[in-house]
Structure 1
Amino acid sequence: MSKRLLSICILILLAQQLKAQQYGLFNTKTLFDGFENPAQKVFTLDSSRQYASNFLLPYFGVNAASKGNSDFVRRLINEGIYKSQDIPLERKGLNTLYQHTNAYLLTLKIYNSYKYQKELGFSWQFRTDALAKYTNETLIMIDDADRINNPLMRNGIFNDKGYGLSYHQFSVTYRENYTKRLAFGAKLSLLSGTSYHQLNIVESGLKNTSGSGFPEVGFSGTYRATFIDDKELSSNTLMPTFKNPGASISLGTSYQSKSGYFLMANLKDLGFIKWNNQSYYKRINSNITIGDPNQSTADTKKQLKDAIAKNPDREGFYSATNAKIDVMLSKSFGLWTPSIIVSKNLFFTGGDAAMVNKFKYEGFSVSATPTYNFHQLFYLGLQTMYQTPNFEVFLGSDDLLKTTSQVQGILNKDATIGNGYNGASVYLGIGIKFGNFVEHPQNSSTMPGIGEESPGLFKRLFSIFSKKK
C-alpha cells in the first residue's frame, strides 16, 4: 500500500466520516428548517399547498476540515505525494480532523390543521459524525521512522484519539402554535447504526531498544469498532437493518415578539445507539519496532494494524449521538435579515458561532455567513436560494473560500493553491409542495382541521403539568 493510501487509512481509522450545519437555512421555512428545527413552520396560509416533499431528490450537506500540517495535507490530497520531512517533531498540541454529513433521503411534511398551525412530518436521513486528534509523530512514523528513534523524546508522542459513526435516522416531527407568537415542536427518531470506530491512545513513548536491537514504540489505550477487515463489508453494510438500534429526540421552541425580533432555541439529536454483541473491543498494550532498514512501509502498517485490532474481544456497547443545543436571534430590516446563531455540542468537543446576513428580493435570496468554529477555525459561507410558497431550491457552502481553493487544487493537482487549514463544504436541496391549498377557513371548505375544538398537543401537556402543581 502506498504512503498516501496508508495515511488516508489512518485518518479513516481515527475518523470514519465531517459536520455541516447550514446555518443559512435557519428560519427559511424550507423542509430542512422544518425538520432540523422542529418548532419551525414550513407552510404559508393562503399560499402553500398541503403536502411537501423532496421526492428522493438531492437534499444533503457535507462538511470537512483539517487543521494542522496544512501544507502536508494539501500536498497529499492535491498531488498524492506523502512528504513528511517538513513536519516538525514534538509539536505541542494535536492536529484536528472533523467531519459531518446530513443527507435527507426522503421527506414528507403535512399541513395538519389550521387551528394552532399544526404540522406533521416524516423523514429518512443518513448521518455521519467524526472527530480525530492526532500527533505529528503518527504521520512521520509511516514515512521516516528514523526521525523519531530518539528515546529522549517526550512521552505521549502517539496519543491519538478519535471517533466516527454513521447511522440512519427515521423520524416523526410535530409542531404547533401555543399562542400566536409562541410555538413548540418535537422530533422523535428511531436510529439504525451502520458503523462505529473509536480509538483512544492514553499512553505512548519510545523504548531504548527491542529484542532486534532497534527502537520500539510502546502505546496503550482502547479501540472499538463494528468492523475491522474490509472483508466484513458488503452492499448491505450501509443499509438500515436495525441490528444496531437506537433512539433520539429533538425539542424546539420559537417566539416572535411584537417588536419584530425572532428567537429560536433547540435541543437536537439527544439519543443513543446500542451496537450489537458482534462488535469489536480491544484494550491496547503493544510495541512496534521502528528504524529497521529491512522493514518496509507495509510491515510497519501491519504492525500498527495488529497492535490496534488483532485478536479483539466481542461485545456490545452503547454510544451517544452528537447532541447539541443551538439558539438563534433574528430581526428583519427591509431586504436585510441578520441572524446570530450559537450552537454547542453536548457530549463532544466543538460548536459554532455564526452571523447569517440574508438579502432577499421577491423569491430570490443570498446569504453570507461568517462562522467561528470552536476548533479555532473561521469560515465564510455563501448560500443562494430561489423559493416560492410551493417550491424551493438552494445551493450553498459553509466554507466557500476553502472549498473553492480545495477543488481548484485537486483539479489542477497543485499543492500551491490555497493556504491555511484545509476544508470543504457543500449543501443543496430541492423541495416541492403539492395537494390542496392551505387556505383560510373563510375561503375554503376543505381546510384540514377546520371546526376542530380540541387544543393542541403541547397545550394539553402543559395543562396537565399545571394541574399537578
Structure 2
Amino acid sequence: MKNFLLAVCFLFISVETFGQQFSQYNTGTLYDSFENPAQAAFVPDTSRKLAFNFFIPNFNSNLYVTGNGQVPLKSRAFNGKYANTALTIGNGRFSRANANANIYSLMFKAFTSLDGNQEIGISTQTRAEGRGLFTDESLLLLNGPNSFPADDYTNLFNNNYTEQTYHQISFNYREKVNKNFAFGFKLSALLGIQYQQLQIDQSHVTFDRASDAADISLQGRYRISYTPGEFSKHDLLPTLRNPGASISIGTAIRTRDNFNIQFNVKNIGFIHWYKSSIVSEFNTTRTAPDISTNRREDNLYATTYSIIRSADKQQSFTTATNGVAEISANKSYWFDYDRRFKYSPTLILQKEVFYDGYTAALVNPFQYNNLVGTLTTSYSNYGIFSAGLQFMVKTPNIEFFIGSDRIMQSVSFAAAANKSETQINKSASYTGADLFMGFSIKFGNVIEHPLNSSHIPLGDRPGFITRLWNSIFHKDRND
C-alpha cells in the first residue's frame, strides 16, 4: 500500500537512516582525519606510514522524529495502523523529522614528509541528507474524516521535506605548519544519486461527508531528479549526470596551556541536477474519494500526487549540501605517572550553514592503555538532548570503534520495531536511532625521526603551506 504520509511529509525517512556524529572528535582515527581535515592520523616514531580501511565500510547513520507524530508513525510502521495519541487540530502543532547517513567505502592515507609533517589521502563515500516538517492534521487525515468536526479547514497541511543522496570522491591534505598550528582541507567531486523536495505553502480541505470525499487544494513547489517507480539499483552506480563539488577546511591550534582548538567548515558544496529533472509550481484542487474506507491512504496519496505533479516541467536545478561550521576545544589529563589512564574531553559547538540548526556537544573519552570508552552528550536548538556511548580499541596501527550517539533512543526504537507495544506507544521528547562503526589498519615503514631512524633519511622538504607561511611571516620552522 502506498503511504500518503511518506509522499507528502518525509519520504526521505524510508531511504536512509541525521545528525552529526561527535564521538570521533580528537580520537586520531582515520575516520576522524577525513571528517576533520586538520586532524592528524599518524604519530611520528609510533605509527606506520600508510593507513587503509581495506574496503570495510566506516559509517554513521542516524534518525530522529519529534512532536506528536511519534506514536502514530511508529504504530503505522510496526503495527499497520495509526494511533492518534495526542494529535491536535488547529493548534499549529507539527513534528520534525531528520535523517542522515555517511558511509565511507574507501579510505586511504599516507604520511608523505616527516619534515613537513604532511598527510595526503583519498576517499570514496556515499551520503544521504533529509529533513522535513509535517502537521498533526496530516496524520489525523490518514485515519479518516471523523477526527475533523468542521467541514472546511485552511493551511492545516503546510508540510515540507527535502532529501538528497550522492556519492563523494575526495582528496585530503593535512600539514602541520609549525608545532602549534596545523591546516587541512578536503576537496570533493560529488555525483548526485537522487533528489526530492516538496514545499506546501498554502492548503485547504473541504469535506463532503455525504459523498465520503474531500476537496483538497494545495499551492507550492515540488522538485524531483528521477522518475518514481523507475529508480533501480543500477541508478546507484556513480555517473556524471548530476555533477557537483564540495570543500571542507579545518585548522588546529595548540595553545600555551595545552588546549587544542579546532575550527572546521565542512561539506560546503552544491549538486547540479540534470535537465530531465522535474520542477512543478503547483496550485490545484482535486477530489479524494472514499476517505472513510480502507482505501483512504491510496486515494489520498493519488489525489495529492496528482496535485503536486499537475504543473510538471523538465528543467535542471542546483541544490546545496548540508554544510556545517564548528569550533571545538580539547584538553587531555593523565591520571598516573605511567600514562595509562587518560581523560580527554572535547567541547563542540556546531551550526548548520544553510539551515537554522545548531548543537552543543560534550565528548568524554576515558582511556586505559589501548581501550577507550566514550560518553557523549549533546543538545540542539530543537530541544533534543542526546546521550551516547562508544567503545574503541586503538593501538598505534590498528583501530576499531562502535557506538551510538543516541543509545537509549536506539534501544527503544529497536524494541518498537520488534512490535513492543510499550515502546510503540511510549511518549517521549523524541524518537531516534543512531549507529556508527569503523575500522582501519596502518602498515608500511614506521615513521621515524632522523635520530631514531633505522635507515638513512632522504631529506624531506617542508610542505607548500609551511613554505608559504614562513615566507609571509619570515619565520623559522622551529619558532
Q: TM-score, normalised by structure 2?
A: 0.90
Using the alignment, how far apart are the partners of 2:71 and 2:416 within structure 1?
12
Using the alignment, how far apart are the partners of 2:291 and 2:164 within structure 1?
37
Task: Decide whether the 8 Å contact of 1:78 with 1:415 is kept in 2.
Answer: no
Using the alignment, how far apart are the partners of 2:85 and 2:41 within structure 1?
54
List runs of 5+ in structure 2 lacking aligned partners.
335-341, 475-479
Which of the numbers 450, 457, 464 marks the counterpart of 2:464? 457
SS in 2 for 1:458: helix
1:381 partnered with 2:405: no
Per-residue CA deviation, residues 442-468 of structure 1 (Å, 9 max, x unaligned), is 2336588x4134x4222344467779x
Aligned to 2:231: 233
Using the alignment, how far apart are the partners of 2:25 and 2:65 within structure 1?
26
Per-residue CA deviation, residues 390-421 of structure 1 (Å, 9 max, x unaligned), is 00000010100100111122224424465402
Task: Decide whether the 8 Å contact of 2:10 with 2:97 is kept in 1.
Answer: no
Aligned to 1:179: 178
SS in 1 for 2:345: strand
1:370 partnered with 2:370: no
Aligned to 2:367: 360
Change (3 A) 1:446 1:225: farther
Residue 141 of structure 1 deviates from its aligned partner by: 1.9
Change (3 A) 1:407 1:260: same
Residue 61 of structure 1 deviates from its aligned partner by: 0.6
Which of the numbers 432, 442, 451 marks the counterpart of 2:441? 432
Using the alignment, how far apart are the partners of 1:314 and 1:291 within structure 2?
30
Residue 128 of structure 1 deviates from its aligned partner by: 0.6
SS in 2 for 1:25: coil
Task: Decide whether the 8 Å contact of 2:392 with 2:400 is kept in 1.
Answer: yes
Using the alignment, how far apart are the partners of 1:293 and 1:162 within structure 2?
24
Aligned to 1:92: 92
Stretch moving more, 144-153 or 50-59: 144-153
Change (3 A) 1:137 1:451: same
Task: Decide whether the 8 Å contact of 2:174 with 2:182 is kept in 1.
Answer: yes
Per-residue CA deviation, residues 162-189 of structure 1 (Å, 9 max, x unaligned), is 1101000000000111111100001000
Residue 150 of structure 1 deviates from its aligned partner by: 2.5
Task: Decide whether the 8 Å contact of 1:78 with 1:414 is kept in 2.
Answer: no
Change (3 A) 1:339 1:86: closer
Stretch moving more, 336-345 or 408-417: 408-417
AA aligned opposite 2:442: K
Per-residue CA deviation, residues 177-224 of structure 1 (Å, 9 max, x unaligned), is 111110000100000000101111111123476997954221100000
Aligned to 2:205: 206
Residue 341 of structure 1 deviates from its aligned partner by: 0.4
Using the alignment, how far apart are the partners of 1:141 and 1:452 within structure 2?
69
Using the alignment, how far apart are the partners of 1:85 and 1:174 within structure 2?
52
How do 1:146-161 and structure 2 match up within 5 A? 146-148=146-148, 150-151=150-151, 153=153, 155-161=154-160
AA aligned opposite 2:113: S
AA aligned opposite 2:139: L
Aligned to 2:221: 222
Using the alignment, how far apart are the partners of 1:75 and 1:131 within structure 2?
21
Task: Decide whether the 8 Å contact of 1:43 with 1:49 is kept in 2.
Answer: yes
Using the alignment, how far apart are the partners of 2:291 and 2:391 within structure 1?
56
Change (3 A) 1:308 1:146: farther
How do 1:33-432 and structure 2 match up within 5 A? 33-69=32-68, 70-84=70-84, 87-148=87-148, 150-151=150-151, 153=153, 155-207=154-206, 215-230=214-229, 232-290=230-288, 292=290, 296-297=295-296, 298-310=298-310, 312-334=312-334, 335-416=342-423, 418-420=426-428, 421-432=430-441
**Percent of aligned positions with the same letter in both sequences?**
32
AA aligned opposite 1:373: S
Let me know the Cα RMSD of the aligned residues.
2.5
Change (3 A) 1:294 1:9: closer
AA aligned opposite 2:138: T
Using the alignment, how far apart are the partners of 2:299 and 2:348 within structure 1?
49
Using the alignment, how far apart are the partners of 2:175 and 2:233 within structure 1?
41
AA aligned opposite 2:96: T
Change (3 A) 1:47 1:332: same
Using the alignment, how far apart are the partners of 1:285 and 1:371 within structure 2?
41
Task: Decide whether the 8 Å contact of 1:104 with 1:126 is kept in 2.
Answer: yes
Task: Decide whether the 8 Å contact of 1:149 with 1:290 is kept in 2.
Answer: no
Using the alignment, how far apart are the partners of 2:456 and 2:147 within structure 1?
74
Aligned to 2:338: none
AA aligned opposite 2:460: E
Residue 81 of structure 1 deviates from its aligned partner by: 2.5
Using the alignment, how far apart are the partners of 2:104 and 2:185 within structure 1?
18
Using the alignment, how far apart are the partners of 1:382 and 1:25 within structure 2?
11
Using the alignment, how far apart are the partners of 2:85 and 2:362 within structure 1?
40
Stretch moving more, 294-303 or 388-397: 294-303
Task: Decide whether the 8 Å contact of 2:288 with 2:303 is kept in 1.
Answer: no
Using the alignment, how far apart are the partners of 2:399 and 2:232 within structure 1?
36
Task: Decide whether the 8 Å contact of 1:256 with 1:263 is kept in 2.
Answer: yes
Change (3 A) 1:220 1:462: farther
SS in 1 for 2:72: helix
Using the alignment, how far apart are the partners of 2:186 and 2:220 within structure 1?
37
Aligned to 2:337: none
SS in 1 for 2:451: helix
AA aligned opposite 1:223: Y
Change (3 A) 1:6 1:259: same
Runs of 4+ in structure 1 displaced over 6 angstroms?
208-213, 463-467
AA aligned opposite 1:452: D
Task: Decide whether the 8 Å contact of 2:134 with 2:160 is kept in 1.
Answer: yes
Using the alignment, how far apart are the partners of 1:293 and 1:111 within structure 2?
64
AA aligned opposite 2:270: F
Residue 82 of structure 1 deviates from its aligned partner by: 2.2
Change (3 A) 1:416 1:396: closer
Using the alignment, how far apart are the partners of 2:84 and 2:158 within structure 1?
19
Task: Decide whether the 8 Å contact of 2:10 with 2:132 is kept in 1.
Answer: no
SS in 2 for 1:459: helix
Stretch moving more, 289-298 or 244-253: 289-298
Residue 71 of structure 1 deviates from its aligned partner by: 2.0
Residue 148 of structure 1 deviates from its aligned partner by: 3.6
AA aligned opposite 1:272: F
AA aligned opposite 2:125: Q
Stretch moving more, 72-81 or 271-280: 72-81
AA aligned opposite 2:75: R
Count of residue pairs brought into register by the alignment? 461
SS in 1 for 2:45: coil
SS in 2 for 1:381: strand
Using the alignment, how far apart are the partners of 1:167 and 1:177 within structure 2?
31
